[in-house]
């Protein structure tokens, strides 16, 4: 047994360090892969929200600069009407 240990000691030490780094260490490779996937997911969400914020700001500027756009928005999104008007809402069934 002593001859095997002396012959392969560097390989055994290297394998034990590799196992320790892969499984037992607090910064192991499994957690590292999961954290990288989470970072990728969060950056995708960040870019989505940045574009949505830009769209909302653009829409806000269009609404508050012109009265006609504001009235159109209120009628289309919130089904608002004037006192002397009747409002008809047509709902179409969704296609499956």
Task: Say whether pTM exceeds 0.85.
Answer: no
Does residue 28 sit within a domain?
no
Does residue 17 sit within a domain?
no
Residue 77 structural domain = 43-81
Q: How many domains does the chain have?
A: 1
Does residue 60 sit within a domain?
yes
Q: Cα–Cα distance between 1 and 3 in angstroms, integer?
A: 5
pLDDT tens-digit readout, 3-26: 777 778 888 888 888 888 777 777
Q: What percent of the chain is helix, strand and coil (3-state, nearest 5)?
A: 75, 0, 25
Cβ–Cβ contacts within 10 Å for residue 50, how many?
10
pLDDT tens-digit readout, 29-64: 888 889 999 999 999 999 999 999 999 999 888 888
Does residue 71 sit within a domain?
yes
């Amino acid at each position: 047994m002593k001859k095997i240990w002396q012959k392969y000691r560097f390989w055994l030490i290297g394998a034990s360090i590799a196992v320790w780094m892969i499984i037992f260490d607090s910064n192991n490779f499994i957690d590292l892969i999961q954290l990288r996937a989470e970072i990728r997911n969060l950056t995708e969400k960040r870019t989505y929200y940045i574009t949505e914020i830009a769209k909302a700001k653009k829409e806000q500027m269009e609404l508050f600069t012109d009265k006609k756009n504001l009235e159109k928005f209120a009628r289309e999104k919130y089904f608002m009407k004037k006192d002397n008007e009747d409002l008809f809402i047509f709902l179409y069934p969704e296609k499956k």
